[in-house]
Copies of this chain bind each other. A is one copy, B any other.
Amino acid sequence: MDGEAIKRLLEGSGLRCTAQRYAVMAFLVEHAGHPTAAEIFEAVNRLDPRSSRATTYNNLRDLVQAGLVREVAVEGRAARFDAKGMRHHHFICDRCGEVEDMEWCDVPRPGSGSLGKRVLRECEIIFRGLCAKCAPRHASRKVS
- Chain A residues with CB under 8 Å of chain B are 71-76, 79, 91, 94, 100, 102-103, 105-108, 110-111, 114, 116-132, 135-136, 138
Contacts and interface: CB of A to CB of B under 8 A. Distances in A.
Copies per complex?
2
Nearest to A106: B108
Contacts of A102: 110, 114
Q: Top 9 nearest A-B pairs by Cβ distance?
A: A73-B73, A117-B132, A121-B129, A119-B130, A120-B129, A73-B75, A103-B114, A71-B75, A119-B135
Nearest to A142: B65
A128 B117 contact: no
Contacts of A91: 118
From A110, A118, A123, A129, residue with most partner B Cβ within 10 Å: A118
| Residue among A94, A126, A131 with most chain B CB within 10 A | A126
Given A73-B74, A118-B129, 18 more contacts: A76-B79, A100-B118, A102-B110, A102-B114, A103-B111, A103-B114, A105-B108, A105-B110, A110-B127, A117-B132, A119-B130, A119-B135, A119-B138, A120-B127, A121-B128, A121-B129, A121-B130, A122-B127
A23 to B, nearest CB: 22
Contacts of A79: 75-76
